[in-house]
Amino acid sequence: MTAGRFRLVYSVAAQADGELMGVLYDYFHAADRATAVDRAIGPGGGGPAARSLDEAGADWFDAKGMDPNVVLGKLVGFAQGIPFGSVAEPEMVWPDPVAWPYGRQAPPGVASPWDTGLVLQELPDGWRDTLAAVDEEAEPMLALQWYDIEEVRFADFLDAQAAVRLFVGLARRAGAAGASLYCRCTV
C-alpha cells in the first residue's frame, strides 16, 4: 500500500564548485536489497532510475537535507536513549561497495556509478524497530530533542514533530510488511 508522497524541506545545502545545491534524501521501504535497488536506482542497478519512487509503487517520502547517517541517526539515538556515537550505522547498498569501493577509478570507457550522484543505503532493522515502537505520547519530547540538533533547521517545533511522525509511520508500515528501510541520496 502506498501511503502517498510527502516532502519535507529544510535549510540544509551542500556546496559544490562554490555553488549551493540541495541534497535530497528519499526514505522508503522494500522487501529486500534487490527490490530497493530496482526502485531507487533502476532495474538491476544499471543506472539512474528512469522512473520515480511513485512510479515504482514505493511507500516513501523525501526529506531534503535529512541525511540518514547523522540527522536520522540522532533521532534514533534519542529514541533508544543512547549517545549518537553508539548508534548502529546504515549500510551502503549502491554503488555496490565490493564492486565499486569509494574512490576506485573507473577503467577507460566505463562510467563509475559514483558519478551518477546517487547513493542507496539500507537502514539497520533496529532503527526500523526503534522508530516503529515510538509511542504517540513520546513523540513531542522526541521531536523537542531532535529540534535542537545543529545539523538541520526545522521551521519550528511542529515541523520537527511532523517529521518524527513521518519516520515513525514509515517504520511501522515497513515492520508490518516485513520490509527494511532504505534511503536514496541524490546530489
**Per-residue pLDDT tens digits of the chain, which is 187 residues long:** 333 333 333 333 333 444 446 889 999 999 999 999 999 988 777 666 546 888 888 999 988 889 999 999 999 999 999 999 999 999 999 998 888 888 888 888 888 888 888 999 999 999 999 999 999 999 999 999 999 999 999 999 999 999 999 999 999 999 999 999 999 999 8
Residue 154 within any structural domain of the chain: yes
> Is residue 131 one of the residues assigned to a domain?
yes
Q: Helices 73-80 and 139-147 sit at what angle, rounded to 10 degrees?
A: 130
Confirm whether 6 is domain-assigned: no
61 touches 27 (CB < 8 A)? yes
159 sits in which H/E element: helix 157-177
In a domain, 155, yes or no: yes
Domain count, the chain: 1
In a domain, 11, yes or no: no
Domain region containing 140: 20-186
Q: Nearest-CA neighbor of 123 among 155, 96, 95, 91? A: 91
Helix (H, G, I), strand (E, B) or coil at 117: coil
Question: Do the bridges between strand 180-186 and strand 24-30 make them parallel or antiparallel, or are there none, so unpaired?
Answer: antiparallel
State residue 16 phi and psi, 5-degree precision: -135, 125
In a domain, 4, yes or no: no
Question: Model's pTM, two decimal places?
Answer: 0.85
Largest Cα span, the chain: 57
